[in-house]
Amino acid sequence: MRYWHGHGHYVGGWGVGLMAFGTLMFLVIVVLLAVALFRYVARSRQPIPPGRAAPGAGGAGVGGPHGWGPVGQGGQGGQGVSPEQLLAERFARGEIDAEEYRHRLDTLRSANGPGGD
- Three-state DSSP state, 11: strand
Task: Please name the residues in contact with 78: beta carbons below 8 A apart, sequence gap of 6 or more.
Answer: 62, 72
Q: Are 86 and 77 in contact (CB under 8 A)?
A: yes
- Three-state DSSP state, 9: strand
pLDDT tens profile 67-92? 555 444 444 445 677 888 888 999 99
Question: How far apart (Å, rounded) are the C-alpha atoms in residues 89 and 82?
Answer: 11
Judge whether residue 101 has pLDDT over 80. yes
